[in-house]
Amino acid sequence: MPETDDLQEAKVAFIGAAIGRGHPFYLDGLIEAFAREYPQIPYLKSDVTELSHGICRLAWSGIEQLYQFGARGGFISSQYNRLRQRLGSHNKSGVAAAILGQHVREYLKDYAGPVVVSHPLLATILAHQNKIIYQHGELAAPPEAIVEGCYRIFVPTSRTAQAFIERGIPMQRLFVTGQCLENGLSESAEINYRRRLDRFREEGPLTAGLFSSGAYPRDQVRKLVYAANSLAEAGHRVIVFAGLSAKRAGEFARVFHTEIVSALHSCDSGSFGRITLLRAKDRAEFDCQTAEIVPDLDFFVAPAHERTNWAVGLGLPQFILCPYLGTYAPLNGAIATAQGVAIEINDDSMARNLAALIGEYRSEGRLQVMADKGIGQFDLNGFSHGAHELATLMASSEISAS
């Protein structure tokens, strides 16, 4: 049965919060897998801003603005992180949580079925009222990601589960799904890894993907520009993903003296030695772009956010744009560097000379070692396993909407 907009018809409700890319990405991935594998089950998909109005909606918009500014570092970043912690798992009855949750709580107050969320703030707000399935797709689990009172929490690895257990979440509330990756990447992981190793052993140019945080923090963007220029000057194929901001894409275009494109057919073999700039109109197109081009990448440059999954699970070496901002990034970075699949770009000099570093790592076999350490370590079908567990839970009388 197709998606429904009638809550009473829905056997499960997915409620999102479009803050950043990571949380919405994990929820969208689970919805896609669930709809594909259980087409007979009616579901509702909504966003908290669609369910809110007046002061409540303004408050959610304010959270999104704080994310944009807070993820750029400095004083505002510290204030944003403090706010996230104050709105965390132990503050269900606080004034801010009451304002943010007013309308979504009202909307769901008589709903008996499971409610699936991926943002910890939404899980916190709703956990005492509804049967919450909290989809935590991130490898890292900082304190504000730990939410009490959920019916079930989906986590990608046993290490992530341990972080929840150590902060008091009962083990029986947790379900390890495996890593949550873009559609299609898990199925092709092994063959793409083998092809990548073949290219490492050859002498031709490599293909690099460069990604900024959606907040475009100044220090990271500067290093991204230096790195892109370094790689292009060395003859490599460089694809810069400008994200969703038309303004930022225009700035990149002027810096790189290139045109903005959205179709990946522009990234053909003729793009070696120059920079191709991709921009998407929305999150869905951005995810399609990345899923299509990742198989051709030999390494990527990005902050230590949700794409760190690629380094850890796909055998795709990562060069981390520093400084770390927020609470998730340093933990993700620590996981990836400890596994030996990522290297930090700590200063401008390293970014300016990235091509030389890549050449050195390639000739010494270190790029291959990084790729080797990132393949076959984890189950990569997290969204599919999560969808199956959700359907299994719904079949039980305890959580069923009927």
Q: Strand (E) positions, 162-206?
A: 174-176
pLDDT score at 274: 86
Average pLDDT over residues 221-241: 96
Average confidence (pLDDT) over 360-378? 97
Residue 304: how many other CB atoms lie within 10 Å: 29
| Beta carbons within 10 angstroms of residue 112's beta carbon | 11
Question: What is the CA angle 324-210-357, rounded to 5?
Answer: 80
Q: Which two tokens stand for residue 160?
A: 């992530």
Confidence band of 93 (pLDDT split at 50, 70, 90): very low
pLDDT of residue 206: 96
Query: What is the tens place of the pLDDT at every residue in 296-355?
Result: 999 999 999 999 999 999 999 999 999 998 889 999 999 999 999 999 999 999 999 999
Residue 171 burial by CB count (10 A; 0-12/13-18/19+): exposed, middle or buried? exposed
The order of strands in the sheet holding 318-321 is: 260-261, 275-278, 237-241, 207-211, 299-302, 318-321, 342-345
Of 58-72, 81-95, 113-127, 209-223, the range with the lowest mean pLDDT is 81-95
> What does the domain layout of the chain look like in residue ranges?
12-178+381-395, 189-372
Task: Kindly tell me if the per-residue pLDDT of 237 is higher than 90.
Answer: yes
Look at 14-28, 53-67, 312-326, 340-354 and tell me which has the smallest mean pLDDT: 53-67
Longest dimension (CA), the chain: 63
Lowest mean pLDDT among 68-82, 173-187, 225-239: 68-82
- What integer is the mean pLDDT of 15-38? 92
d(CA 108, CA 123): 13
Q: Please say if the pLDDT value at position 189 is more than 60.
A: yes
pLDDT of residue 213: 85
Given the candidates 2.60.40, 1.10.10, 3.40.50, 3.30.70, the CATH classification of the domain at 12-178+381-395 is 3.40.50
Q: Is residue 135 scored above 50 in pLDDT?
A: yes
Q: Are 291 and 179 in contact (CB under 8 A)?
A: no
> Full-prediction pTM beyond 0.85?
yes
Return the pLDDT at 91: 47
Q: Say whether pLDDT at 243 is over 80.
A: yes
Return the pLDDT at 400: 65
Angle, CA of 222, 225 and 228, to the nearest 5°: 150
At 61 the pLDDT is 80
pLDDT digits (tens, 9 = 90+) for 339-348: 999 999 999 9
Mean pLDDT to the nearest integer, 127-148? 95
Residues in CB range of 29: below 8 A, 6 or more apart: 137, 180, 181, 182, 183, 382, 383
pLDDT of amino acid 2: 81
Number of continuous H segments (helices) and E segments (strands) in the chain: 17, 13
**368: Cβ contacts below 8 Å, ≥ 6 apart:** 197, 200, 201
Percentage of the chain exceeding pLDDT 70: 88
12-178+381-395 against 189-372: fold identical: yes
Contact between 319 and 301 under an 8 Å Cβ cutoff? The reply is: yes
pLDDT at 358 over 70: yes
- How many C-beta atoms surround the C-beta of residue 81 within 10 A? 18
Tell the burial category of 402 from Cβ atoms under 10 Å away from its Cβ (0-12, 13-18, 19+). Answer: exposed
Averaged confidence pLDDT in the chain: 89
Are 205 and 237 contacting, i.e. CB atoms less than 8 angstroms apart? yes
- pLDDT of 81 strictly over 70: no
Stretch 254-268: mean pLDDT, rounded? Answer: 75
Cα(59)–Cα(212) distance, rounded to whole angstroms? Answer: 26
Element (H, E) at 47: strand 43-47
* Burial (CB count <10 Å: 0-12, 13-18, 19+), residue 177: buried
Determine the average pLDDT of the residues in 270-276.
Answer: 79
308 contacts 326 by C-beta, under 8 angstroms: no
Cβ-count burial 12-42 (b if 16+ within 10 Å, e if not)? bbbbbbbbbbbbbbbbbbbbbbbbeebeebb
Q: Give yes or no for residue 241 having a pLDDT over 80.
A: yes
pLDDT for res 357: 98
Looking at per-residue confidence, does 242 or 117 come out higher? 117
Contact present, 10 and 38 (Cβ < 8 Å): no
Residue 398 confidence class, pLDDT cut points 50, 70, 90: low
The angle subtended at Cα 23 by Cα 19 and Cα 29, nearest 5°, is: 130
Cα 225 to the center of its chain, rounded Å: 22
pLDDT at position 1 = 55
CA–CA dist 227, 330 (Å, integer): 21
CATH number for domain 189-372, candidates 1.10.3720.10, 3.40.50.2000, 3.65.10.10, 3.10.450.40: 3.40.50.2000
Q: What's the confidence (pLDDT) of residue 396?
A: 81
Q: What is the Cα Rg of the chain in Å?
A: 21
Over residues 167-194, mean pLDDT: 95
3-class SS at 355?
Answer: helix
C-alpha 228/C-alpha 236 separation (Å) is 9
